Protein backbone atom coordinates (compact mmCIF):
# COMPACT_ATOMS: atom_id res chain seq x y z
CA UNK A 1 0.00 0.00 0.00
CA UNK A 2 1.38 3.41 -0.97
CA UNK A 3 2.23 6.06 1.58
CA UNK A 4 -0.67 8.28 0.53
CA UNK A 5 -3.19 5.43 0.73
CA UNK A 6 -1.85 4.37 4.15
CA UNK A 7 -2.10 7.93 5.43
CA UNK A 8 -5.70 8.09 4.26
CA UNK A 9 -6.61 4.78 5.91
CA UNK A 10 -5.06 5.09 9.38
CA UNK A 11 -7.40 6.47 12.05
CA UNK A 12 -6.47 8.34 15.22
CA UNK A 13 -8.49 5.80 17.21
CA UNK A 14 -6.17 3.06 15.94
CA UNK A 15 -3.08 4.97 17.02
CA UNK A 16 -4.58 5.62 20.45
CA UNK A 17 -5.36 1.91 20.77
CA UNK A 18 -1.79 0.96 19.83
CA UNK A 19 -0.34 3.37 22.39
CA UNK A 20 -2.74 2.15 25.10
CA UNK A 21 -1.83 -1.50 24.45
CA UNK A 22 1.86 -0.62 24.61
CA UNK A 23 1.35 1.12 27.95
CA UNK A 24 -0.94 -1.46 29.56
CA UNK A 25 0.25 -4.75 28.04
CA UNK A 26 -3.22 -6.15 27.31
CA UNK A 27 -6.38 -5.28 25.44
CA UNK A 28 -8.65 -5.24 28.49
CA UNK A 29 -6.64 -2.60 30.37
CA UNK A 30 -6.22 -0.62 27.17
CA UNK A 31 -10.00 -0.61 26.71
CA UNK A 32 -10.52 0.68 30.25
CA UNK A 33 -7.94 3.39 29.64
CA UNK A 34 -9.68 4.49 26.44
CA UNK A 35 -13.23 4.00 27.68
CA UNK A 36 -14.07 1.36 25.04
CA UNK A 37 -14.56 -2.40 25.03
CA UNK A 38 -11.75 -4.94 24.81
CA UNK A 39 -13.11 -6.13 21.48
CA UNK A 40 -13.02 -2.56 20.13
CA UNK A 41 -9.32 -2.31 20.98
CA UNK A 42 -8.63 -5.71 19.43
CA UNK A 43 -10.49 -4.71 16.27
CA UNK A 44 -8.59 -1.39 16.05
CA UNK A 45 -5.22 -3.15 16.30
CA UNK A 46 -6.21 -5.85 13.81
CA UNK A 47 -7.42 -3.23 11.32
CA UNK A 48 -4.21 -1.24 11.71
CA UNK A 49 -2.13 -4.38 11.16
CA UNK A 50 -4.13 -5.23 8.05
CA UNK A 51 -3.75 -1.73 6.61
CA UNK A 52 0.00 -1.63 7.29
CA UNK A 53 0.64 -5.25 6.32
CA UNK A 54 2.67 -6.02 9.46
CA UNK A 55 2.12 -7.67 12.86
CA UNK A 56 2.23 -5.11 15.65
CA UNK A 57 1.22 -7.25 18.65
CA UNK A 58 1.83 -10.84 19.65
CA UNK A 59 -1.34 -12.05 21.41
CA UNK A 60 -1.21 -14.64 24.15
CA UNK A 61 -2.86 -15.83 27.34
CA UNK A 62 -0.81 -13.36 29.35
CA UNK A 63 -1.69 -10.30 27.30
CA UNK A 64 -0.37 -8.51 24.25
CA UNK A 65 3.30 -7.88 23.61
CA UNK A 66 4.57 -5.54 20.92
CA UNK A 67 6.67 -7.06 18.19
CA UNK A 68 10.00 -5.36 17.39
CA UNK A 69 8.39 -3.48 14.50
CA UNK A 70 5.42 -2.72 16.75
CA UNK A 71 7.75 -1.09 19.27
CA UNK A 72 9.15 1.12 16.54
CA UNK A 73 5.69 1.98 15.25
CA UNK A 74 4.36 2.94 18.68
CA UNK A 75 7.13 5.56 18.97
CA UNK A 76 5.94 7.10 15.71
CA UNK A 77 2.35 6.96 16.94
CA UNK A 78 3.32 8.75 20.15
CA UNK A 79 5.10 11.44 18.14
CA UNK A 80 2.04 11.93 15.95
CA UNK A 81 -0.27 12.23 18.95
CA UNK A 82 2.19 14.66 20.52
CA UNK A 83 2.01 16.85 17.41
CA UNK A 84 -1.78 16.78 17.59
CA UNK A 85 -1.61 17.83 21.24
CA UNK A 86 0.67 20.69 20.21
CA UNK A 87 -1.80 21.76 17.52
CA UNK A 88 -4.60 21.71 20.08
CA UNK A 89 -2.48 23.75 22.48
CA UNK A 90 -1.75 26.39 19.85
CA UNK A 91 -5.41 26.54 18.88
CA UNK A 92 -6.53 26.94 22.49
CA UNK A 93 -4.01 29.72 23.05
CA UNK A 94 -5.17 31.50 19.89
CA UNK A 95 -8.80 31.25 20.98
CA UNK A 96 -7.99 32.54 24.44
CA UNK A 97 -5.82 35.47 23.38
CA UNK A 98 -8.56 37.76 22.19
CA UNK A 99 -8.25 39.07 25.72
CA UNK A 100 -6.88 38.04 29.07
CA UNK A 101 -4.98 39.12 32.14
CA UNK A 102 -1.43 38.53 33.33
CA UNK A 103 -0.69 39.31 36.99
CA UNK A 104 2.95 39.80 37.85
CA UNK A 105 4.77 40.03 41.18
CA UNK A 106 8.21 41.57 40.72
CA UNK A 107 10.96 43.48 42.50
CA UNK A 108 11.78 47.06 41.57
CA UNK A 109 14.90 46.73 39.43
CA UNK A 110 13.34 44.16 37.10
CA UNK A 111 10.06 46.10 37.03
CA UNK A 112 11.93 49.26 36.06
CA UNK A 113 14.60 48.05 33.67
CA UNK A 114 13.40 44.74 32.18
CA UNK A 115 9.61 44.41 32.14
CA UNK A 116 8.65 47.57 30.20
CA UNK A 117 10.49 46.49 27.05
CA UNK A 118 9.15 42.93 27.24
CA UNK A 119 5.56 44.09 27.71
CA UNK A 120 5.87 46.66 24.91
CA UNK A 121 7.07 43.99 22.48
CA UNK A 122 4.38 41.60 23.72
CA UNK A 123 1.67 44.21 23.07
CA UNK A 124 2.88 44.68 19.50
CA UNK A 125 1.75 41.11 18.89
CA UNK A 126 -1.11 40.78 21.39
CA UNK A 127 -2.46 44.24 22.24
CA UNK A 128 -5.58 43.07 24.11
CA UNK A 129 -3.82 41.43 27.05
CA UNK A 130 -4.03 43.36 30.33
CA UNK A 131 -1.14 43.43 32.80
CA UNK A 132 -1.27 43.95 36.55
CA UNK A 133 2.17 44.53 38.09
CA UNK A 134 2.81 44.51 41.83
CA UNK A 135 6.24 45.55 43.08
CA UNK A 136 7.18 43.84 46.32
CA UNK A 137 9.66 44.93 48.96
CA UNK A 138 10.27 41.88 51.17
CA UNK A 139 12.21 39.01 49.63
CA UNK A 140 9.56 36.40 50.47
CA UNK A 141 6.55 38.39 49.25
CA UNK A 142 6.78 37.21 45.65
CA UNK A 143 6.13 33.56 46.52
CA UNK A 144 3.39 34.60 48.93
CA UNK A 145 1.55 36.48 46.19
CA UNK A 146 1.58 33.40 43.96
CA UNK A 147 0.45 31.10 46.76
CA UNK A 148 -2.45 33.40 47.64
CA UNK A 149 -3.55 33.53 44.01
CA UNK A 150 -2.75 37.24 43.72
CA UNK A 151 -0.21 36.76 40.91
CA UNK A 152 0.35 34.32 38.06
CA UNK A 153 4.06 34.92 37.42
CA UNK A 154 6.78 36.06 39.77
CA UNK A 155 10.32 37.34 39.34
CA UNK A 156 12.82 36.55 42.06
CA UNK A 157 16.51 36.14 42.77
CA UNK A 158 15.83 33.93 45.80
CA UNK A 159 16.16 30.15 45.97
CA UNK A 160 12.61 28.85 45.48
CA UNK A 161 10.52 26.39 47.47
CA UNK A 162 9.58 22.94 46.17
CA UNK A 163 6.04 24.00 45.23
CA UNK A 164 7.36 26.35 42.52
CA UNK A 165 8.79 25.88 39.06
CA UNK A 166 11.61 28.33 38.38
CA UNK A 167 13.43 29.21 35.15
CA UNK A 168 16.59 31.25 34.87
CA UNK A 169 16.17 34.35 32.70
CA UNK A 170 19.49 36.13 33.13
CA UNK A 171 22.25 36.95 35.59
CA UNK A 172 22.87 40.34 37.14
CA UNK A 173 26.44 41.09 38.23
CA UNK A 174 27.38 42.86 41.44
CA UNK A 175 29.54 45.93 40.95
CA UNK A 176 31.43 48.30 43.24
CA UNK A 177 30.50 51.98 43.26
CA UNK A 178 32.99 54.58 44.46
CA UNK A 179 32.46 58.31 45.09
CA UNK A 180 33.14 60.68 42.18
CA UNK A 181 36.27 62.27 43.67
CA UNK A 182 37.87 59.11 45.05
CA UNK A 183 41.21 58.08 43.56
CA UNK A 184 40.50 54.57 42.34
CA UNK A 185 42.80 52.48 40.10
CA UNK A 186 41.31 50.92 36.98
CA UNK A 187 39.94 47.37 36.94
CA UNK A 188 40.82 45.00 38.35
CA UNK A 189 40.78 46.56 41.82
CA UNK A 190 42.05 44.70 44.89
CA UNK A 191 40.25 43.98 48.14
CA UNK A 192 42.57 46.45 49.85
CA UNK A 193 41.19 49.26 47.69
CA UNK A 194 37.62 48.38 48.67
CA UNK A 195 38.43 48.07 52.37
CA UNK A 196 39.72 51.67 52.44
CA UNK A 197 36.13 52.96 52.21
CA UNK A 198 33.17 52.84 54.58
CA UNK A 199 30.72 50.34 53.12
CA UNK A 200 27.11 51.27 52.42
CA UNK A 201 25.12 48.03 52.16
CA UNK A 202 21.53 46.74 52.11
CA UNK A 203 19.74 45.82 55.32
CA UNK A 204 20.68 42.48 56.86
CA UNK A 205 17.19 41.14 56.09
CA UNK A 206 17.72 41.78 52.37
CA UNK A 207 18.72 38.71 50.34
CA UNK A 208 21.26 40.82 48.44
CA UNK A 209 23.07 41.42 51.73
CA UNK A 210 23.06 37.67 52.35
CA UNK A 211 24.66 37.04 48.95
CA UNK A 212 27.33 39.68 49.56
CA UNK A 213 28.09 38.40 53.07
CA UNK A 214 28.39 34.79 51.88
CA UNK A 215 30.68 35.88 49.04
CA UNK A 216 32.99 37.79 51.39
CA UNK A 217 33.02 34.93 53.93
CA UNK A 218 33.90 32.40 51.23
CA UNK A 219 36.90 34.53 50.27
CA UNK A 220 37.89 35.25 53.89
CA UNK A 221 37.30 38.97 53.43
CA UNK A 222 35.97 41.14 56.27
CA UNK A 223 32.60 42.79 55.73
CA UNK A 224 31.83 45.74 57.99
CA UNK A 225 28.89 47.93 57.06
CA UNK A 226 29.16 51.58 58.03
CA UNK A 227 25.57 52.11 56.86
CA UNK A 228 22.75 49.67 56.12
CA UNK A 229 20.04 51.10 53.91
CA UNK A 230 16.75 49.72 52.60
CA UNK A 231 16.42 51.61 49.30
CA UNK A 232 18.88 51.11 46.45
CA UNK A 233 18.49 54.69 45.26
CA UNK A 234 19.44 55.96 48.72
CA UNK A 235 22.59 53.83 48.67
CA UNK A 236 23.58 55.27 45.28
CA UNK A 237 22.84 58.79 46.52
CA UNK A 238 25.07 58.33 49.56
CA UNK A 239 27.94 57.10 47.39
CA UNK A 240 27.41 60.10 45.14
CA UNK A 241 27.83 62.39 48.16
CA UNK A 242 31.13 60.73 49.12
CA UNK A 243 29.88 58.88 52.22
CA UNK A 244 31.40 55.56 51.20
CA UNK A 245 31.46 52.78 48.61
CA UNK A 246 28.95 50.03 47.96
CA UNK A 247 28.65 46.56 46.47
CA UNK A 248 25.36 46.45 44.59
CA UNK A 249 23.66 44.56 41.76
CA UNK A 250 24.00 46.47 38.49
CA UNK A 251 20.26 46.62 37.76
CA UNK A 252 19.55 47.79 41.30
CA UNK A 253 22.05 50.64 40.89
CA UNK A 254 20.64 51.97 37.63
CA UNK A 255 20.27 54.69 36.56
CA UNK A 256 23.80 55.51 37.65
CA UNK A 257 24.95 59.12 37.91
CA UNK A 258 27.77 59.52 35.36
CA UNK A 259 30.10 60.93 38.02
CA UNK A 260 30.09 57.73 40.11
CA UNK A 261 33.03 55.42 39.51
CA UNK A 262 32.12 51.82 38.68
CA UNK A 263 34.46 48.89 39.18
CA UNK A 264 34.20 45.11 39.15
CA UNK A 265 34.64 43.07 42.31
CA UNK A 266 38.06 41.42 42.65
CA UNK A 267 36.20 38.09 42.45
CA UNK A 268 32.94 38.25 40.46
CA UNK A 269 29.54 37.80 42.09
CA UNK A 270 26.15 37.67 40.41
CA UNK A 271 22.53 37.03 41.27
CA UNK A 272 20.30 34.76 39.18
CA UNK A 273 17.01 36.32 38.08
CA UNK A 274 14.27 33.73 37.65
CA UNK A 275 10.66 33.59 36.55
CA UNK A 276 8.52 31.41 38.82
CA UNK A 277 5.04 29.90 38.71
CA UNK A 278 3.29 27.51 41.06
CA UNK A 279 3.78 23.88 40.11
CA UNK A 280 0.76 22.36 38.34
CA UNK A 281 -1.02 25.72 38.31
CA UNK A 282 -3.89 26.03 35.83
CA UNK A 283 -2.59 29.09 34.04
CA UNK A 284 -4.72 30.93 31.47
CA UNK A 285 -3.57 31.13 27.83
CA UNK A 286 -2.48 34.76 28.21
CA UNK A 287 0.01 33.76 30.92
CA UNK A 288 1.51 31.01 28.77
CA UNK A 289 1.88 33.50 25.92
CA UNK A 290 3.70 35.87 28.29
CA UNK A 291 6.00 33.06 29.44
CA UNK A 292 6.81 32.38 25.80
CA UNK A 293 7.69 36.08 25.45
CA UNK A 294 10.01 35.83 28.46
CA UNK A 295 11.71 32.82 26.93
CA UNK A 296 12.54 34.65 23.70
CA UNK A 297 13.29 38.09 25.17
CA UNK A 298 16.72 39.72 25.22
CA UNK A 299 18.29 40.33 28.61
CA UNK A 300 21.54 41.75 29.96
CA UNK A 301 23.97 38.83 30.32
CA UNK A 302 21.16 36.63 29.06
CA UNK A 303 21.21 32.90 29.80
CA UNK A 304 19.11 30.31 27.91
CA UNK A 305 15.93 29.30 29.68
CA UNK A 306 13.17 26.80 29.38
CA UNK A 307 9.77 28.11 30.32
CA UNK A 308 6.61 26.07 30.77
CA UNK A 309 4.43 25.40 27.77
CA UNK A 310 0.65 25.31 27.78
CA UNK A 311 -0.77 21.82 27.99
User: Residue 92's pLDDT is what?
Assistant: 62
Mean pLDDT of 59-81: 88
pLDDT class of 5 with cuts at 50, 70, 90: low
CA dihedral 28, 30, 36, 40 (to 10 degrees): -70
Q: Which residues pair with 220 in a beta bridge?
A: none
| pTM assigned to the model | 0.65
pLDDT tens by residue, 242-289: 999 999 999 999 999 999 999 999 999 999 999 999 988 888 888 988
pLDDT of 302 above 70: no
User: Residue 304's pLDDT is what?
Assistant: 36
Give me the domains of the chain, ranges plus CATH numbers: 3-96 (1.10.10.10), 101-170+276-296 (3.40.190.10), 171-271 (3.40.190.10)
User: Residue 93's pLDDT is what?
Assistant: 63
270-278 and 164-178 beta bridge pairing: antiparallel
Amino acid sequence: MGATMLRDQIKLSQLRALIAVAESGNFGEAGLQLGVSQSAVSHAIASLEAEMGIVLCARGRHGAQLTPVGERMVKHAQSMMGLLDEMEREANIAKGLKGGDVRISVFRSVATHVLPDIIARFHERLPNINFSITEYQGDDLCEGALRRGQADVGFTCLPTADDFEAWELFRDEYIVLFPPKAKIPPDPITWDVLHQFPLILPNETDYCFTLIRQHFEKLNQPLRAAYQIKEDSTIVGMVMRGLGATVIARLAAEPLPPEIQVRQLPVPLERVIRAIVLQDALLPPAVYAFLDALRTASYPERSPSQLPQAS
